[in-house]
Amino acid sequence: MLCLTIPCAQVSVGQNSTQKEIPVLCYHNVCSKVSVAGDLWIDAASFESQIRSLKDSGYMSILPDDLYSYLTMSEPLPPKPVIISFDDSHAEQATIAAPILYRYGFKAVFFIMTVTIGKAGYLSASQIQELSDEGNCIGSHSYDHPLVTGIEGTALKWQFYQSKITLEKLTGKQVLYAAYPYGVWNRQAVDTLRRLGYKAAFQLNGPKDMLEPLFTLRRIITSGKWSGNTLQSHIRKSFKSL
């Protein structure tokens, strides 16, 4: 029988009425060229165009620790903050996306599926460590990307426990943030993540849960078809408090 060591629970706190909802962008595949751009695919030139547009419009990237401090302790943020996140651990996130981000002074959070580490086309252990060493945040995207509403108990704990300890051994840093596979969550998943020592978690574009705002942080999937101006339009529409 699997035995998991569970840290003490952490308390989830809500946003106060004066806080803005900070935009969080979600990317997946960033490739040199793509045959069909869409929600999961963007070519390098289009990605750079979107990042350049953010930079030119005064956006500054922040990381989950910054967002957590803002939401729980009202720590100040830049005037136009944005979190850039990546799911699914594709190797091009390190070889193509990261250098573009650095060119414009941005950092990101990379949510890693640990089952893929070292497999062809996916991030290697050394690439993950390098991303962390370069000042990016490494988060959990579970072990092998199950729908959390379809598992429970020990199986659910294992997905985020194994991922957490594997990534912490790789980076030498705590892994405190997670992204739900497919952006789908339930209360059991929230309770499990909290017991495992995670501080917050990201869904996709469902409504924020008022009882669990830190564990239902919203993201929008960016499209490879969007121009920089279109991206900013979607940010304004999706995060209306900005």
- The reply to whether 96 falls in a domain is yes
- The reply to whether 55 falls in a domain is yes
94-151 pLDDT, tens digit per residue, is: 999 999 999 999 999 999 999 999 999 999 999 999 999 999 999 999 999 999 999 9
**CA angle (97 as vertex; 95, 101 as ends), nearest 5:** 120
Q: How many domains does the chain have?
A: 1
The dihedral through the CA atoms of 201, 69, 133, 55 has a sign that is: positive
Question: Phi then psi for 130, rounded to 5 degrees?
Answer: -65, -40
Answering whether pTM is above 0.85, one says: yes
- Give the Cβ contact number of residue 91 at 10 Å: 15
**CA angle (199 as vertex; 92, 231 as ends), nearest 5:** 45
- The reply to whether 142 falls in a domain is yes
- The reply to whether 242 falls in a domain is no
Residue 19, pLDDT score: 81
Provide the CATH number for the domain around residue 85: 3.20.20.370
- The reply to whether 121 falls in a domain is yes
- The reply to whether 238 falls in a domain is no
- The reply to whether 12 falls in a domain is no
Residue 18, pLDDT score: 64
Residue 7, pLDDT score: 41
Q: Which domain holds residue 165?
A: 24-231
- The reply to whether 179 falls in a domain is yes
Residue ranges of the chain with pLDDT lower than 50? 1-15, 242
